[in-house]
Amino acid sequence: MGEVTISSKFQIVIPREVRKQLRLKVGQKLRVVVKGQTINLVPDIPITEMRGFLKGMDKNGFREEDGRL
């Protein structure tokens, strides 16, 4: 993906190819998720932009039948 360096102010620059691939915009918020020794930056997407993002997805197999009430 790319490599970043932490500045003296503990800042990083997201590489251009990553910004383009994820369509990140100036001022957009990112969530920081830490799992063990891994840091993940997840774009914070407004709920209004998420409408229809699961369209056409196969919903079978996500829940077991005996787990339902």
Per-residue pLDDT tens digits of the chain, which is 69 residues long: 678 999 999 999 999 999 999 889 999 999 999 999 999 999 888 888 778 877 887 777 666 666 666
* Rounded Cα distance, 62 and 7, in Å: 43
What pTM value is reported for the model?
A: 0.59
> CA angle, corner 19, sides to 40 and 58, nearest 5?
65
Residue 42 lies in a domain: yes
Residue 52 lies in a domain: yes
Please tell me the predicted confidence (pLDDT) of residue 60: 75
Residue 1 lies in a domain: no
Domain that holds residue 44: 25-56
The total number of structural domains in the chain stands at 1
Residue 31 lies in a domain: yes
Residue 29 lies in a domain: yes
Residue 12 in tokens: 């990083």
Residue 4 lies in a domain: no
